[in-house]
């Protein structure tokens, strides 16, 4: 859900002590608080910035106390309205893990405040026992028209080692986190020495893996999805990789490397799925190619039809060359060599 960065554990937020925290500095006047926070709430969202969630119940109580809205001016500063330490317990489905409830709604269940506003409120009122700040990152959305949102709900990823895939650890990451961030987290989780060379793999199916070889790529750019399994592989002492021994004839691409099951014989039927072909985990049905033996004078042609940009493209394979025919285009088609 977007309004919309890490789980409660994410970020370098101001920590909350084990007891309700008294204000760290003398609380300024209600008018100063109203003006300061009001101004900070107008901060523009910028990609990569961090914002904080605050339970709407606490924030509404604070607004009444300082007379933030004109209709609350009659009771400004009344002791009975004092909000006390910042309390986000109403946002958690589990108080121990501090996991967010599902389907929380911006402004109704929580409000978003920039880092400076959070730090000011905590310095004035403190925060409750063992509650970690709920800090979220601003991420960019849109393919053509870009817009920024605070990422409230994070992506859950399942992490494991190549030599022990039964030991799966779940962690949450922002779409703005990089592959390098995930790899560092996995090194820590599985106690991998810093000098040990590793590779990271995206596991699609039981025998289909994509190497994540761009450390600066973000989770969003890499196309990772909820529940995705990521595998970290340690280099052997002899300089080889464990997955090379399992799949010596793995297929590779310039930006996406796949390891698949061994090739079948030339006379057998081969099922080709979109995952192995292009790295996408779509649910489209696979295409069946029958590579049966035929006479030397026969013409063998396989046509793949897909819909792209609202028109059909037909890719025809003839002998050892591919010729792409694109209807309604005036430009000369490129020739692809098999």
pLDDT tens sequence for the chain (338 residues): 555 433 344 444 445 543 444 445 678 999 999 999 999 999 999 998 999 999 999 999 999 999 999 888 888 989 999 999 999 999 999 988 899 999 999 999 999 999 999 999 999 999 998 899 999 999 988 778 889 999 999 999 999 999 999 999 999 999 889 999 999 999 999 999 999 999 999 998 778 899 999 999 999 889 999 999 999 999 999 999 998 866 655 444 334 444 444 444 444 444 433 333 333 333 333 333 344 344 334 333 333 333 443 334 433 334 344 444 444 434 434 433 43
Q: What is the pTM of this model?
A: 0.61
Per-residue confidence (pLDDT) for residue 248, from 0 to 100: 57
Q: Burial code of 205-240, b = ≥16 C-beta within 10 A, e = fewer?
A: eeebbbbbeeeebbbbebebeeebbbbbbbeeeeee
Q: Note the pLDDT tens digit of each residue in 135-192.
A: 999 998 877 888 999 999 999 999 999 999 999 999 999 988 999 999 999 999 999 9
Instruction: Measure Cα distances from 262 to 207, 229, 247 in Å.
Output: 10, 22, 7
Per-residue confidence (pLDDT) for residue 205, from 0 to 100: 78
Contact between 6 and 136 (Cβ < 8 Å): yes
Question: Strands 287-290 and 301-308, how do they pair?
Answer: unpaired
Residue with tokens 């589990």: 94
The residue among 286, 251, 291, 258 whose CA lies nearest residue 271 is: 286
- The partner residues of 92 in beta bridges, in order of sequence, read 100
Per-residue confidence (pLDDT) for residue 246, from 0 to 100: 67
Per-residue confidence (pLDDT) for residue 16, from 0 to 100: 59
- The partner residues of 299 in beta bridges, in order of sequence, read none
CA angle 136, 140, 141 (to 5 degrees): 120
Written as six digits, the tokens of 260 are 């698949």
Beta strands in the chain (DSSP E): 50-55, 92-94, 99-100, 110-114, 135-141, 147-150, 155-161, 164-173, 198-205, 208-211, 228-234, 257-259, 269-272, 287-290, 301-308, 311-318, 321-325, 335-337
Per-residue confidence (pLDDT) for residue 310, from 0 to 100: 39
Distance CA 109, CA 275 (A): 39
The residue among 147, 155, 148 whose CA lies nearest residue 202 is: 155
């Amino acid at each position: 859900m977007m309004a919309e960065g890490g789980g409660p554990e994410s970020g370098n937020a101001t920590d909350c002590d084990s007891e309700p925290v008294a204000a760290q500095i003398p609380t300024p006047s209600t008018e100063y608080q109203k003006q300061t926070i009001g101004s900070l709430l107008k901060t523009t969202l910028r990609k990569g910035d961090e914002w904080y969630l605050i339970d709407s119940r606490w924030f509404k109580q604070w607004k009444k106390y300082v007379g933030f809205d004109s209709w609350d001016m009659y009771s400004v500063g009344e002791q009975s309205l004092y909000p006390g330490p910042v309390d986000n317990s109403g946002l958690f489905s589990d108080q121990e893990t501090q996991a967010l409830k599902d389907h929380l709604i911006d402004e109704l269940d929580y409000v978003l405040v920039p880092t400076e506003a959070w730090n000011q409120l905590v310095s004035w009122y403190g925060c409750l026992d063992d509650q970690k700040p709920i800090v979220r990152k601003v991420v960019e959305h849109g393919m053509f028209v870009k817009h920024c949102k605070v990422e409230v709900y994070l992506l859950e990823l399942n992490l494991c080692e190549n030599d022990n895939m039964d030991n799966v650890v779940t962690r949450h990451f922002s779409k703005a986190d990089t592959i390098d961030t995930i790899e560092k987290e996995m090194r820590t989780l599985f106690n991998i020495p810093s000098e040990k060379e590793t590779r990271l793999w995206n596991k699609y199916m039981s025998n289909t893996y994509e190497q994540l070889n761009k450390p600066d790529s973000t989770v969003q750019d890499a196309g990772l999805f909820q529940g995705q399994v990521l595998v970290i592989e340690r280099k052997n002492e002899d300089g080889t990789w464990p997955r090379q021994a399992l799949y010596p004839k793995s297929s590779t691409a310039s930006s996406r490397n796949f390891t698949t099951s061994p090739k079948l014989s030339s006379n057998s039927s081969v099922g080709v799925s979109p995952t192995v072909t292009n790295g996408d985990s779509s649910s489209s049905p696979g295409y069946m190619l029958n590579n049966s033996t035929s006479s030397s004078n026969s013409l063998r042609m396989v046509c793949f039809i897909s819909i792209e940009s609202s028109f059909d493209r037909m890719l025809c394979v003839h002998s050892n060359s591919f010729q792409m025919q694109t209807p309604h285009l005036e430009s000369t088609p490129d020739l692809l060599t098999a």
